[in-house]
Structure 1
Amino acid sequence: MLEAIAGDAAAIAQFGTFLEMTQPEIFEAVQDDALLSASFWVNIALAGLSILLFVYMGRNVKDPRAQLIFVATLMVPLVSISSYTGLVSGLTISFLEMPAGHALAGEEVLTMWGRYLTWALSTPMILLALGLLAGSNATDLFTILVADISMCVTGLAAALTVSSHGLRWFWYFISCMFFLVVLYVLLVKWPEDAKANGTAEIFNTLKILTVAMWLGYPIFWALGAEGIAVLDVAITSWAYSGLDIVAKYIFAFLLLNWVAKNESVIADMPSVGVDRSGASGAAPADD
């Protein structure tokens, strides 16, 4: 009996030490997993190259609306390079004990909560750029941005909740409800705006790309260690990183390349406050 108690005490002490890992120890743990570490470093490199490329692509853009699209889009790799540096350094990673009912109940799972900060800051910039491209009115733009940020914040809550397995999935459900609002504006509202403003072809391409990639995030969350744990942490991280590469850098290149070549189309659009019928009374943008 005494040996069993001593063994349990040792296990608890070791468990507590593991959960309270210092940042250098987390950094070493990340570097020791080559697959996990590579999923961060590849994105740091691609984000850095994207920043340089996008600045070069926008060097001759003069129209204020086109410039705003460039600035919003440029923020995406800027946020990403900062976020992935936080992940690879161990600054925005923690080990959390999964609650009862989870597939890994009682185990310490590496949680990359810094990704949610990235999404909360970068995805609104993607949507802002898309809204400006489509010629969105202010109401739709405000609605989708608030829903998007709420989606990311509630997703973070799902990842960090360890008090109840059921509450983790309830947070996940709330996040998905906000995602449906984002999809509604992207798929129903903005295509009409883009058609009216002459940007439908490029908007529809980017819309399909965005929706297809963004659907992957909740799917991999559910399959990964934070969900039902079919996929391990490194594979899940690579899934997220792969989605980021397409949804951010490739998306941004396609958008900015089109805007740079069709600046006159952007310049002829009404200001953000004008709806499709032009009934809002806001003044049109200067030519």
Structure 2
Amino acid sequence: MTQPEVYESIQNDQALNASFWVNIALAGLVTLLFVYMGRNLEDPRAKLIWVATLMVPLVSISSYTGLASGLTVSFLEMPAGHALAGDEVLTMWGRYLTWTFSTPMILLALGMLAGTNLTKLFTAITADIAMCVTGLAAAMTTSSYALRWFWYFISCTFFLVVLYVLLAEWPRDAEAAGTDEIFGLLRNLTVVLWLGYPIFWALGAEGLAVLDVAITSWAYSILDIGAKYIFAYLLLNWIATNERVIAQQPAGIGTGVEPEPGTGTPAED
């Protein structure tokens, strides 16, 4: 199908089209809100967390506009073995581009909040990008139904690496940095909502086809609202009122190790 035909198909499906435009509107509103919330930040680390968080709705505006315009949407014929084998199914591959650019920003903000070290931060972000790219491969593979699921399990394996860092490594770093309470809240929100993405992929038209395209799109959009906008608001609201806690962390990325008594950074006069 040509791009105008894809665009017309999206326009004719009101539920699908609305799932895109609701997020475009919300992303625009929260971007203005986040700019206002971070206007008085002074500490460089706090500003970096704010910029990383601000990038999330900015990326979403671009991504959802691409989806709504038909630019990052294609109709792919499903392979033999798929529940819709032989049918052309609308594939929203632009969502994977969104996640590839936005989820690393979420992890960067969380890692900076926890005061983790570069090794753990690099591990989490690299595994996250690999998770998104292999998820895209699963959605775009039409040569073999089995290979679609093989890509899916590879993506889930990278996701397990991200979960390990979030659940096992960063909590200790956050406790040492004095941000464990807010980190715990944001970590739990992130883990619970991010688990929804592979579940809806498996149930949606790209996987078992239990859910149709419009319902799957709305599921992804609702997960995005919680995992991006609500997450970002909670984080920036805490940063705005607790900037001093962030400013007292060691310069650069944190060491992820609790300092021994008497070895902390001397206070400035």
TM-score (ref. length: structure 1): 0.90
Stretches (4+) displaced over 3 A = 283-287
Q: C-alpha separation between the residues in 1 aligned to 2:55 and 2:80?
A: 40
Q: C-alpha separation between the residues in 2 aligned to 1:285 and 1:240?
A: 47
8 Å CA contact 1:268, 1:285 repeated in 2: no
In the alignment, structure 1 residue 256 sits paired with structure 2 residue 236: yes
Q: Which amino acid aligns with 2:67?
A: L
Q: Which amino acid aligns with 1:50?
A: V
Tell me the C-alpha RMSD between the 2 structures.
1.5
Show structure 1 runs of 5+ residues with no match: 1-20
Give the aligned partner of residue 3 of structure 1: none
Shift of 1:274: 2.3
In percent, how many aligned pairs have the same letter?
Answer: 75
CA deviation string 1:264-284 (max 9, x = no partner): 0000112315231569xxx96
Change (3 A) 1:286 1:142: farther
CA deviation string 1:90-142 (max 9, x = no partner): 00000000000001000000000000000000000000000000001110000
Q: How many residues align?
A: 264
In the alignment, structure 1 residue 272 sits paired with structure 2 residue 253: yes
Shift of 1:82: 0.2
Which of 137, 160, 178 pairs up with 1:157? 137
TM-score (ref. length: structure 2): 0.96
1:171-190, aligned counterparts within 5 Å?
A: 171-190=151-170
SS of the residue corresponding to residue 130 of structure 2 reads helix
Give the aligned partner of residue 59 of structure 2: 79
Give the aligned partner of residue 146 of structure 1: 126
1:1-287, aligned counterparts within 5 Å?
A: 21-270=1-250, 271-272=252-253, 274-277=255-258
SS of the residue corresponding to residue 75 of structure 2 reads strand
8 Å CA contact 2:177, 2:258 repeated in 1: no
Change (3 A) 1:70 1:251: same
**Which one has a bigger Cα radius of gyration?**
1
Q: C-alpha separation between the residues in 2 aligned to 1:25 and 1:275?
A: 52
Q: C-alpha separation between the residues in 2 aligned to 1:275 and 1:56?
A: 31
Q: Which amino acid aligns with 2:49?
A: I
8 Å CA contact 2:176, 2:256 repeated in 1: no
Q: Which amino acid aligns with 1:132?
A: M
Shift of 1:25: 1.1
Q: C-alpha separation between the residues in 1 aligned to 2:266 and 2:129?
A: 28
Q: C-alpha separation between the residues in 2 aligned to 1:161 and 1:274?
A: 41
